[in-house]
Amino acid sequence: MLLADFGTSYCKILNTETRQGPEIIATRDLDAGFIADLATGHNAARRSKHSVNELTALARGGEEIIGGEDFVLLDCGSRDIKFVRYSEGRVVDMGWNAECGASMGFTIELLAKYYDLDYAKIPIPDTGFSITCGVLGMSNIFDAVISGLSETEAVAKFVRGIARNAYRFAGSPERLYLSGGLCDNPLFVGSFPCNVISLGRFVLLEGLQVS
Partner 1 sequence: MTEKVGIVGIPPRSVIADLHQRRALIFDLDEPQIRASLDLTASHLPRVYCAVLRTVVLNAMHLHLDRIYIDVGPGKCDCALHVSTILRSMLSIPVHCTRNQDMESAGIPLCRTRMPLLEKMTAITAGVLAPEPEKGPAACRPTAGFWGVPPRDFSLLTLFPDTTHVYGWTRCMENKTPADLGLESYVNPDVPTVFFAQSFCAKTALAKFLADHHPQGLYLDCNVTAGSSARAKIEAFFELSQPSFSVDRKKG
Nearer to partner 1, 89 or 148 (CB): 89
Distance of CA 162 to the CA centre of its chain: 11
Q: Is 136 in the site for partner 1 (CB under 8 A)?
A: no
Select the residue interacting with partner 1 from 20, 28, 32, 89 (CB under 8 A): 89
Pick the closer one to partner 1 by CB: 35 or 92: 92
Residues 165-201, buried b or exposed e (16+ Cβ, 10 A)? Answer: bbbebbeebeebbbbbbbbebebbbebbeeebebbbb
CB nearer to partner 1: pick between 99 and 116: 99
Q: Is 91 in the site for partner 1 (CB under 8 A)?
A: yes
Q: Is 63 in the site for partner 1 (CB under 8 A)?
A: yes
Question: Does 99 interact with partner 1 (rule: CB under 8 A)?
Answer: yes
User: Side-chain half-sphere of 81: how many Cα atoms within 13 Å?
Assistant: 26
CB atoms within 10 A of CB 9: 15
66 lies in the binding site for partner 1 (CB under 8 A)? no
Choose one: 22-30, 94-102, 117-125, 161-169; the region binding partner 1 (CB under 8 A).
Answer: 94-102
Distance CA 206, CA 146 (A): 45
> Binding residue for partner 1 (CB under 8 A) from 18, 19, 20, 90?
90
- Is 33 among the residues that bind partner 1 (CB under 8 A)? no
Question: Which of the stretches 10-18, 59-67, 70-78, 105-113 binds partner 1 when contact is defined by CB under 8 A?
Answer: 59-67
CB of 98 to partner 1, least distance (A): 4
Nearest distance in Å: CB 55, partner 1: 4
Tell me, what amino acid is at 117? L
Count CA atoms closer than 13 A to 176's CA, side-chain side: 28
The C-alpha atoms of residue 159 and residue 140 are separated, in whole angstroms, by 11
